[in-house]
Structure 1
């Protein structure tokens, strides 16, 4: 039995090296190339529900973007706080702001996709750039950087939505490491010609891509997934590119309690269940290989079975993993989390296992 586990462990290490070197390396070792700035008309779309505290801070930042031709489409999704009042004041203050008011609809109550659909239809520009109400761009060149990646063929641009750093917080490092790993995955698979997701905190596409797949209609009943499920359906190798220049990042405040973050991640994991078969398989294979890489060596070392080889394989895997993620972390300005890498990886792994088990017995809560 130990011999079988040993050879299974060797296979697991090989799978891990395939992911980290040959797949994730597509992004980690990719050189940043300067894109040619363009003057494509852009509609920046922000959907908010009870986000008064955030929109009053972040919408003015969007309004100060250094870009020649853009509008801001603000969607109030039947907020019960002062979000709509704030939006109406912004509409008076900034001539390029367009306001979309969404009232509760019995068929689509509480469905962000319905509100976004109305906003997309109201947008006057052909190219759409999305961010969330609790996000802000890191620079005045955010629109310029994201739009510069559009070409005649590339009509979907996947960006990076980061979280702010909080000194002395292990949870903050955990959240940012998980965000880094997720970004490395979707950026890398996009470079492999198999894009499978994006994040609504920083995402752009041409309006025709939305209508080519009939918008969110195929997954309208699934409350989450206005970003990743749409990309999973609409994105192809030929029409999708990535943007990871530092001035293209958006930032948002991370959750400050483990419970809040756990609930947020439950929604994300539940949505992944509706991805295409290939994407579910590759994500599942990566997760299972990570889990077995932790469990199998414990058993083998407990019985001191081929312990020198086992320890060598562990070191070999961690070396390549650390290097690959380290390069990616440098690109995405997340180098500090790599100092905690082995610990963060293990914690994230077992949090994901806990989420998977929890979701089997209870459905996560979605849009506010």
Structure 2
């Protein structure tokens, strides 16, 4: 047991350093002040997002891009609040924007994939750009993607996602989430840097409609409630389309934090539930290694308290993980200009192995609830 724990800790450290190397391999990009050339279909599925829509609307109005070069397709997924009414009012108040309002048609076990498929089939332009209704988009969003497309000719582009800034004093729950999303973004960027991309975020994801149709859209993954982004990324890679990452501060989409531990737990279970269906050997191996590292740290912590393991083993495992994770998260925080958030790292690092392990276990053996709906395993 002790030897296995040491080996897994060292393998984990090497894996994180590999991703850190990849993080630095992805060059920063700025597409501001370049001439707009690409037309975009912005797709926004939504369900019960009335409290978040005004922020989204305000950010869409600030886009520095010719209105005739993009359309917005908002897909209502059976909202029970005033979301649909707010979208209708927004369209009436801003006729200069090409806004199309669609009603989702449920066909599969994944409402979001149904909504995305519907919007993509109705879209006018070749480049699809997806985001979520609880997000705000930056002014140079479309400009940055257009420049990246012109420079690289890429058909698939992932881009960064961060939490919206905290208005009041930052709570520990929000700080914990920020450490988590910074680590996920670091791993995402790092995987692109070593040419083994295995993660992206549908809140900021761009791809060619032709490419989407070429890979068969979401066929083969429709029984999973989530994964519209990662499953699609895998299919693009398998077809040899070479996804790229837009590492630009001008392209960062900001999303809402979850305001309860139960909500955060349910969200993470939803994210983890689809992992077993991934086809990437790298992502599966890395996911298993991360789980083993976390669960062993939990076991060794409890065992050390019970005097079943030597103190040096716990110290060794914790210090190795603490330091390699810190380097990854700190460099991610620098890119997102969120270094002050790292003050949450110490306490988060002690809680995270317990939280993460419980999320994975639940994702294997139980379903979850999301947006008022129950999804079975």
TM above 0.5, yes or no, is yes
Secondary structure of 2:368's counterpart equals coil
CA distance in 1, matches of 2:213, 2:258: 34
State the shift of 1:149 in Å.
Answer: 2.1
- Counterpart mapping for 1:133-144 below 5 A: 133-137=133-137, 139-144=138-143
Which of 34, 42, 47 is the aligned partner of 2:45?
47
Compute the displacement of 1:127 (Å). Answer: 0.9
Aligned residue in 1 for 2:375:
none
| Deviation for aligned residue 1:177 | 1.0
CA shift at 1:87, angstroms?
A: 2.2
Between the aligned partners of 2:109 and 2:230, the Cα distance in structure 1 is: 21
- CA offsets, 1:201-242, max 9 Å, x none? 111111122111211121122222222222232236752111
Instruction: Find the counterpart in structure 2 of residue 71 from structure 1.
Output: 71
In structure 1, distance between residues paired with 2:232 and 2:255: 22
* Bigger Cα displacement from structure 2, 351-360 vs 229-238: 229-238
Structure 2, unpaired ranges of 5+: 373-377
2:255 aligned partner: 252
Q: Of 53, 59, 62, which residue of structure 1 is paired with 2:60?
A: 62
More moved, 204-213 vs 162-171 = 162-171
Match of 1:24 among 20, 24, 43: 20
When residues 31 and 114 of structure 1 are mapped into structure 2, their CA distance, relative to the original with a 3 A threshold, is closer
- Asked whether the equivalents of residues 74 and 100 of structure 1 are also in contact (C-alpha less than 8 Å), the reply is yes
Contact 1:165 1:172 in 2 (8 A): no
Aligned to 1:218, the other structure's residue is in SS state coil
1:110–1:367 contact (8 Å) kept in structure 2: no
| CA drift at 1:289 | 2.5
The gaps in structure 1 that reach 5 residues or longer are none
Shift of 1:181: 1.2
User: Equivalents in 1 of 2:125, 2:270: separation in Å?
Assistant: 31
Closer, same or farther: CA 51–186 of 1 in aligned 2, 3 Å: same
1:173 CA drift (Å) = 0.6
Partner of 1:119: 119
1:136 to 1:221, Cα distance in 2 relative to 1, 3 A? same
Question: 1:117: how far off?
Answer: 0.9
**Deviation for aligned residue 1:134:** 0.8
SS in 1 for 2:131: strand
169-178 or 296-305, which deviates more: 296-305
The alpha carbon displacement at 1:310 in A equals: 7.5
Q: Over the residues paired in the alignment, what is the CA RMSD in angstroms? A: 2.8
TM-score w.r.t. length of structure 1: 0.87
8 Å CA contact retained: 1:43, 1:71: yes
Quote the residue 1:128 is aligned against: 128
CA gap 1:313/1:111 in 2 versus in 1, 3 angstroms: closer
State whether structure 2 residue 14 is matched by structure 1 residue 15: no
Is 1:100–1:119's contact at 8 Å kept on the other side of the alignment?
no
Query: How many angstroms does 1:303 deviate by?
Result: 7.2
Shift of 1:330: 0.7
Match of 1:190 in 2: 192
Residues 319-328 or 125-134, more deviating? 319-328
1:171 aligns with 2:173: yes
Does 2:284 correspond to 1:285?
no
- Tell me: CA distance 1:244–1:103, structure 2 relative to 1, closer, same or farther (3 Å): closer
2:242 maps to what in 1?
239
Deviations for 1:126-166, whole angstroms, at most 9, x for unmatched residues?
111111011111x3112212332225552111112211243
